[in-house]
């Protein structure tokens, strides 16, 4: 009873403190999404003489049968399937390296995290210079040196085969530092007694990593993969700055198509339908990830 009375007395304070966050969620997330959901069932187009009308599922039928949108959706899935596991593995390796307590760890931690702090527009411009075509480009020169002169200079951002992997490489490099910090915090929270007990049982470095480190990092890894997946599906800045969806449609994504539908073709209803499809896709992917993680925990 006393607990209930104390909680009841603190309810106004709790609501007051949560008010700004809840208001922000309603104004900037819930309200825009509900607006997009309503507009997706209309024929709204800026500058069109036609009156606003309800068209049902026609916008969804059009985009799901549009080859350009399906290709953009496929590019988004390929990007996410490539970036999420590779970036997580790189971040895990960097976190494990930084956690060794070697000399200069603070400097390396700062260097690895610096790309996360820089705005994506600046990072994209720098990587455009790195991907410069011809033998004088930094990436071409590096690969030529690595292959002892066997590499033929490429125009990475205008090659239909290399354009999307080039953007994936940039994204992995730029976001790995954020994941590294989270995983590093998880590594530093693992009790040393677990490693000592495993060593006494005769476990080697690999077995300690597999049976002690990875199980203890389960929750940070799930969080990192969920956040990275959501960010991967939101791919837009790199494409807009570096390739503008080209060459042809090699790097178009769902977000890029939605933005182009609004600002280039002024098709607001079509862009709203794309946004709803994008939301459902991300929701399904994150639900599957959480479900698989829960099943793995129940098996263990």
CATH topology of domain 60-299: MetI-like fold (1.10.3720)
Task: Output the pLDDT for position 1.
Answer: 47
Looking at residue 11, what is its pLDDT? 81
Query: Sign of the C-alpha dihedral, residues 289, 290, 291, 293?
Result: positive
Q: Backbone phi, then psi, for 54, in 5-degree steps?
A: -85, 125
CA angle 234, 237, 238 (to 5 degrees): 105
Q: How far apart are the first and last CA of the chain?
A: 39
pTM, two decimals, is 0.89
Q: Which two tokens stand for residue 249?
A: 């449609």
Task: Give the long-range contacts of residues 122-130, CB within 8 A, separation 24 or more.
Answer: 123/170, 123/174, 124/170, 124/237, 124/238, 124/241, 124/242, 125/241, 127/166, 127/170, 127/242, 128/157, 128/241, 128/242
pLDDT of residue 300: 54
Residuewise pLDDT in 10s, the chain (300 residues)? 455 455 456 788 888 889 899 999 999 889 988 999 999 999 999 888 888 899 999 999 999 999 999 999 999 999 999 999 999 999 999 999 888 877 777 888 888 888 999 999 999 999 999 999 988 899 999 999 999 999 999 999 999 999 999 999 999 999 999 999 999 999 999 999 999 899 888 888 899 999 999 999 988 998 899 899 989 999 999 999 999 999 988 999 999 999 999 998 899 999 999 999 998 988 898 888 878 776 555 555
Per 3-state DSSP, what percentage of the chain is helix, strand, and coil (rounded to 5)?
75, 0, 25
Domain ranges for the chain, please list them.
Answer: 60-299
| DSSP 8-state class, residue 248 | T
Q: What is the pLDDT of residue 235?
A: 92
Q: What is the DSSP letter of 42?
A: B
Distance CA 268, CA 60 (A): 13
Query: Distance between CA 22 and CA 15 in Å, rounded?
Result: 9
């Amino acid at each position: 009873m006393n607990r209930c009375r104390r909680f009841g007395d603190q309810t106004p304070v709790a609501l007051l403190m949560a008010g700004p966050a809840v208001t922000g969620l309603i104004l900037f997330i819930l309200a825009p999404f509900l607006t997009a959901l309503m507009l997706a069932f209309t024929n709204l187009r800026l500058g069109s003489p036609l009156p606003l009308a309800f068209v049902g599922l026609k916008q969804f039928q059009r985009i799901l049968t549009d080859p350009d949108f399906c290709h953009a959706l496929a590019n988004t899935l390929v990007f996410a399937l490539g970036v999420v596991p590779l970036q997580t593995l790189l971040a895990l390796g960097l976190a494990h390296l930084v956690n060794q307590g070697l000399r200069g760890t603070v400097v390396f931690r700062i260097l690895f995290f610096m790309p996360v702090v820089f705005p994506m527009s600046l990072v994209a411009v720098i990587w455009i210079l790195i991907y410069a075509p011809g033998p004088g480009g930094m990436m071409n020169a590096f690969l030529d040196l690595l292959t002892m002169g066997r590499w033929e200079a490429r125009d990475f951002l205008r090659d239909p085969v290399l354009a999307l992997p080039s953007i994936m490489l940039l994204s992995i490099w730029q976001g790995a530092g954020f994941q590294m910090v989270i995983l590093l915090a998880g590594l530093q929270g693992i009790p040393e007694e677990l490693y000592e007990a495993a060593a006494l049982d005769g476990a080697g470095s690999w077995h300690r990593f597999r049976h002690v480190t990875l199980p203890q990092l389960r929750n940070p890894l799930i969080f990192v993969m969920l956040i990275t997946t959501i960010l991967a599906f939101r791919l837009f800045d790199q494409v807009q700055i570096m390739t503008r969806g080209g060459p042809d449609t090699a790097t178009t994504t769902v977000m890029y198509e939605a933005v182009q539908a609004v600002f280039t073709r002024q098709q607001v209803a079509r862009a709203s339908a794309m946004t709803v499809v994008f939301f459902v896709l991300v929701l399904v992917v994150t639900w599957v990830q959480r479900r698989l993680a829960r099943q793995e925990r129940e098996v263990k």
